[in-house]
């Protein structure tokens, strides 16, 4: 099959190529009768690249699946009515009915399975048995042809007559898939076999103060005394900033003159001068491909660069130049026309990633100062070791005086191809923007900021007590574990079954242990949790990158060994979590198939494939080594059993951890309010969070992760889903509360526990109490102390 044949459009078919006024021709796929844009060409090509290892499905089949999974407001009824127009035969009508049934199942998938990386997993799952489409080898060839000559798709604009067999192929593909998946749930179950499902709704992200008070981020910076100087400069920088927010490259766009001419084309593109020839000469020139035509003009396409901003934090960039540096960085990141993500690094002795999305983050990072006099060493390391990729657009912001340093000049010159913009600051308020283009540095613009004028009216200081609290406010340290278990994290890097025990490597880079238990003490009220338990932390701050595959083992000393395989980097590594001992091995020189899976079996790690006769064996102790050995049939059985058990463990849990605590207080009914939720006791003597609809009368002041009431009582928040309560009344013991927005909760002190068994540790000396007892003994005295002695709004 040819590339243009795969993307070919047809007269009066349900899809066609369309044009976006702001981008290139044939940039979108459009459903004309449903009046809907399905996707941009670039997005579709990215999808095809991701799924090419198992081949490409018929193009129409792919478009239908993309449409029903991209938007819950999709007009599927109009689409189905449109598809029915093409039915000519009874057998096709039956196939279409099955295809529509599949599309409805896909449409009903929860949103988290149809966005970002999960969407790729969904497409791989649905089109795993590619009977009718393009084979893997052909898909690879077609993709390579497109990369070399993207304009080949332009030929698809010439529609052919409607082909009934194309429609039948599109529908038949979906009908066959429908027979494989009986329900929407069966699709979800199958997806889990194709990779870890990333739960993008793991944490309930509450509205930040910026939304609740209708103030934008820049205004927040201006109203905060510590960030006023930075915030007041940003809009002034915007007004003069000439840095392009997106880049258009000419691609194959002609530039005029002779380069626009070709000896092949349609009569409509032929030069008028050709028609001035006599008939015989004219026909002879056309027949011999000597006639001249104007080549079709291709508008520019957007280039995709990863934008990175490097801020100099050396001693010489302290004071006003540093304020200007942060203001410039935020101006680029938060520019109204900036749509791409931007990473920021503070350059000092090393390059440290930072975020500038919240006022607190800006305050913290403004205080960063490195003892080095220049950052030439860390800048060189950034380009030569840490970020070697070419498609970077780097901004480097430094003091104008630092450019006199010869070492820094040398590093900037050697990396001018990727260091696209150089921004210099000065104590007088002058910003200079330079651009590197084709090896030379060009001065783009100068912005002179009237600092005295812009900084003339700083915000008034807050109440003295609040100011003092903010100045000393730091995150309160939280323990590794609590008397009760953590909620189950849904953002998991990977899960493991080792020696009959379950482990989770979480996105917070912690190794957690979780349980299955048959011990019910409150079956009637908590049967929704079945035999599941929460998690305890075994190790935290594990030094890994959350990519590739992982396997877990124990050595003879009962140390936990974490093995990581990164197929894209061809790197295998091993980390002893108890001792920190690390070793790695680069596999670049070895013939390692991309589909190998990292597994653990019988005191060894393996790079394994189910149909392979020979596999790579990896030792557990000592430096990492690889040995090619004959496979053991038991590996497959062990792997299938582990996957089955892990499936059983995580089937029933979809509780959302409440971790972004933006406010805590007591409402008019004297109930505790956490963010938007009220802590509520049910008629069945259990506790849960439900939406608060009552005004908060006694709010707590937020200082980092601590909430302080006016009479002195405190609540300390742990983003993993636990709150610690410390009353100003010493007779009220410290107690803890698990916080999820779905399901029943639990409270615990250091001696007593009440609530859902899910949060009860497997081995514990805690005395089991009813929720009523825990509420009267701990929660009510805590609230009573605040209501009696606290200050209301």
Query: What phi, psi does 496 have (nearest 5°)?
Result: -135, 150
pLDDT reading at 210 higher than 70: no
Amino acid 73: pLDDT: 54
Contacts 24+ apart (CB under 8 A), 557-563: 560/511, 561/620, 562/505, 562/511, 563/598, 563/600, 563/605, 563/618
Distance CA 321, CA 310 (A): 14
The DSSP 8-state label assigned to residue 82 in this structure reads H
Amino acid 517: pLDDT: 62
pLDDT reading at 591 higher than 80: no
Tokens of 261: 């001419």
The DSSP 8-state label assigned to residue 568 in this structure reads T
- Alpha carbon 293 to its chain centroid, in Å, reads 48
- The strand pair at 392-399 and 306-312 is best described as parallel
Tokens of 550: 């992982």
How confident is the model over 729-756, as pLDDT tens digits?
888 999 999 998 878 899 999 999 999 8
Of the listed ranges 99-108, 123-132, 601-610, 698-707, the least confidently predicted one is 123-132
Cα atoms found within 13 Å of the Cα of residue 758, Cβ hemisphere only? 26
Q: Which residue has the tokens 């004071």?
A: 319
Q: Containing H/E element for 615?
A: strand 614-618
Highest mean pLDDT among 623-637, 641-655, 762-776: 762-776
Distance CA 501, CA 504 (A): 10
pLDDT reading at 205 higher than 90: no
**Residue of 326, 317, 312, 303 lying closest to 382 (CA atoms):** 312
* Largest separation between any pair of C-alpha atoms in the chain: 110
Amino acid 561: pLDDT: 93
pLDDT reading at 440 higher than 90: no
Distance CA 598, CA 607 (A): 5
Distance CA 171, CA 130 (A): 13
User: Residues near 768 by Cβ (< 8 Å), separated by ≥ 6?
Assistant: 521, 752, 753, 754, 760
Beta bridge partners of 498: 501
What does 114-177 look like in DSSP terms, one character per residue? SSHHHHHHHHHHHTSS-SSSB-HHHHHHHHHHHHH-GGGGGGGGSPBPP-HHHHHHHHHHHHHH
- Whether the model pTM is above 0.85: no
User: Residues near 345 by Cβ (< 8 Å), separated by ≥ 6?
Assistant: 308, 309, 310, 311, 351, 352, 353, 354, 382
Contact predicate 716/706, CB 8 Å: yes
Tokens of 440: 């030379």
More confident residue, 197 or 24: 197
Contact predicate 518/531, CB 8 Å: yes
Amino acid 195: pLDDT: 58
Amino acid 486: pLDDT: 92
Query: What phi, psi does 685 have (nearest 5°)?
Result: 60, 50
* 768: confidence class by pLDDT, cuts 50, 70, 90: very high
Amino acid 770: pLDDT: 93
* 243: confidence class by pLDDT, cuts 50, 70, 90: low
Contact predicate 212/675, CB 8 Å: no
Cα 2–5–8 angle (5° rounding)?
A: 155
Q: Containing H/E element for 485?
A: none
- What is the sign of the dihedral through the CA atoms of 58, 64, 67 and 70? negative
How confident is the model over 649-660, as pLDDT tens digits?
665 455 678 877
- The strand pair at 306-312 and 342-347 is best described as parallel
- Specify whether the backbone of 599 is left (phi greater than 0), alpha (psi in -120 to 50) or beta: beta
Q: Which domains does the chain have, with CATH numbers?
A: 3-192 (no CATH), 217-247+306-454 (3.40.50), 256-297 (no CATH), 492-509+544-649 (no CATH), 664-789 (no CATH)
**Residue of 659, 685, 667, 683 lying closest to 756 (CA atoms):** 685
* 626: confidence class by pLDDT, cuts 50, 70, 90: confident
* 713: confidence class by pLDDT, cuts 50, 70, 90: very high
How confident is the model over 12-57, as pLDDT tens digits?
888 887 764 334 444 678 787 766 677 777 778 888 888 877 788 8
* Residue spans of beta strands (DSSP E) within 540-596: 549-554, 560-566, 571-576, 582-586
pLDDT reading at 252 higher than 80: no
Contact predicate 246/301, CB 8 Å: no
The DSSP 8-state label assigned to residue 382 in this structure reads I
Amino acid 202: pLDDT: 40
* 204: confidence class by pLDDT, cuts 50, 70, 90: very low
Amino acid 273: pLDDT: 85
Length of the chain equals 793
Query: What phi, psi does 107 have (nearest 5°)?
Result: -60, -30
How confident is the model over 366-400, as pLDDT tens digits?
877 777 788 888 888 888 877 776 667 888 999 88
How confident is the model over 64-88, as pLDDT tens digits?
888 888 755 567 777 888 888 887 7
Contact predicate 748/754, CB 8 Å: yes
User: Residues near 129 by Cβ (< 8 Å), separated by ≥ 6?
Assistant: 176, 177, 180
How confident is the model over 289-341, as pLDDT tens digits?
888 887 654 444 444 567 888 998 887 777 788 889 999 889 888 887 666 67
Taking residues 344-362, what's their average pLDDT? 86
Distance CA 353, CA 466 (A): 30
**Residue of 168, 175, 196 lying closest to 102 (CA atoms):** 175
**Residue of 379, 408, 380, 231 lying closest to 311 (CA atoms):** 379
More confident residue, 490 or 718: 718
* 419: confidence class by pLDDT, cuts 50, 70, 90: confident
């Amino acid at each position: 099959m040819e590339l243009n044949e795969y993307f070919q459009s047809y007269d009066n078919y349900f899809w066609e190529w369309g044009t976006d006024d702001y981008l290139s021709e044939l940039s979108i796929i459009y459903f004309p009768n449903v009046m809907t844009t399905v996707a941009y060409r670039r997005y579709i090509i990215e999808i095809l690249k991701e799924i090419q290892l198992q081949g490409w499905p018929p193009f129409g089949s792919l478009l239908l699946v993309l449409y029903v999974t991209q938007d819950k407001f999709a007009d599927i009824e109009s689409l189905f009515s449109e598809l029915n127009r093409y039915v000519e035969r009874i057998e096709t009508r039956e196939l279409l009915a099955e295809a529509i049934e599949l599309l409805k199942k896909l449409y009903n998938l929860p949103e988290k399975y149809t966005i970002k990386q999960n969407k790729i997993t969904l497409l791989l799952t649905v089109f795993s048995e590619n009977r009718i489409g393009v084979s893997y080898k052909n898909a690879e060839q077609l993709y390579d042809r497109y990369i070399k000559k993207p304009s080949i798709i332009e030929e698809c604009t010439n529609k052919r007559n409607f082909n009934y067999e194309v429609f039948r192929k599109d529908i038949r593909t979906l009908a066959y898939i429908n027979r494989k998946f009986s329900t929407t749930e069966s699709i979800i179950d199958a997806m889990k076999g194709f990779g870890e499902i990333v739960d993008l709704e793991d944490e309930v992200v509450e509205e930040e103060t910026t939304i609740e008070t209708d103030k934008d981020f820049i205004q927040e910076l201006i109203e905060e005394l510590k960030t006023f100087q930075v915030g007041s400069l940003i809009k002034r920088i915007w007004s003069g900033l000439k840095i392009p927010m997106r880049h258009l490259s000419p691609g194959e766009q002609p530039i005029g003159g002779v380069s626009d001419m070709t000896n092949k084309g349609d009569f409509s593109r032929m030069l008028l001068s050709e028609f001035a020839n006599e008939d015989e000469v004219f026909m002879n020139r056309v027949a011999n491909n000597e006639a001249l035509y104007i080549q079709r003009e291709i508008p520019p396409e957007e280039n995709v660069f990863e934008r990175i901003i490097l801020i100099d934090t050396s001693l010489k960039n302290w004071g006003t130049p540093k304020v200007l540096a942060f203001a410039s960085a935020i101006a680029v990141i938060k520019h109204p026309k900036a749509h791409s993500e931007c990473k920021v690094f503070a350059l000092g002795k090393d390059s440290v990633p930072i975020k500038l999305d919240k006022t607190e983050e800006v305050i913290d990072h403004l205080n960063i100062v490195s003892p080095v006099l220049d950052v030439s060493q860390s800048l060189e390391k950034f380009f030569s070791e840490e970020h070697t990729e070419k498609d970077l657009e780097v901004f480097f912001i430094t003091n104008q005086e630092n450019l006199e340093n010869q070492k820094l000049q040398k590093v900037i010159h050697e990396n001018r191809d990727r260091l696209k913009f150089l921004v210099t600051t000065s104590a007088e308020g002058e910003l200079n923007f330079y651009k590197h283009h084709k090896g030379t540095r060009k001065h783009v613009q100068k912005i002179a900021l009237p600092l005295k004028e812009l900084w003339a009216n700083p915000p008034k200081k807050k109440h003295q007590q609040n100011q003092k609290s903010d100045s000393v406010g730091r995150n309160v340290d939280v323990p590794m574990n609590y008397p009760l278990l953590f909620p189950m994290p849904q953002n998991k890097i990977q899960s493991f079954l080792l020696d009959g025990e379950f482990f989770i490597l979480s996105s917070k880079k912690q190794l957690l242990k979780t349980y299955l238990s048959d011990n019910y003490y409150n079956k009637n009220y908590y049967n929704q949790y079945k035999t599941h338990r929460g998690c305890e932390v075994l190790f935290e701050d594990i030094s890994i990158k959350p990519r590739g595959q992982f396997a877990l083992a124990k050595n003879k000393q009962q140390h936990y060994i974490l093995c990581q395989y990164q197929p894209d980097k061809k790197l295998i590594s091993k980390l002893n979590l108890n001792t920190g001992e690390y070793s790695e091995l680069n596999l670049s020189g070895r013939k390692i198939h991309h589909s190998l899976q990292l597994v653990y079996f019988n005191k060894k790690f393996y790079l394994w494939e189910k149909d392979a006769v020979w596999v790579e064996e990896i030792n557990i102790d000592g430096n990492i080594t690889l040995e090619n050995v004959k496979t053991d049939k038991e590996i497959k059985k062990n792997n299938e059993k582990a996957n089955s058990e892990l499936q059983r463990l995580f089937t029933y849990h979809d509780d959302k951890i409440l971790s972004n605590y933006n406010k805590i207080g007591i409402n008019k009914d004297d109930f505790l309010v956490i963010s938007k939720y009220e802590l509520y006791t049910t008629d069945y003597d259990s506790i849960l969070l439900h939406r608060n609809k009552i005004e908060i009368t006694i709010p707590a002041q937020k200082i980092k992760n601590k909430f302080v009431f006016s009479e002195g009582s405190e609540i300390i928040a742990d983003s993993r889903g636990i709150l610690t309560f410390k009353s100003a009344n010493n007779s009220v013991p410290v107690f803890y509360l698990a916080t999820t927005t779905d399901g029943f909760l639990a409270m615990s002190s250091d001696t007593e526990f009440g609530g859902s068994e899910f949060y009860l540790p497997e081995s514990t000396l805690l005395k089991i109490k009813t929720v009523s007892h825990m509420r009267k003994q701990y929660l009510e005295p805590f609230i009573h102390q605040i209501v009696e002695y606290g200050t209301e709004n």
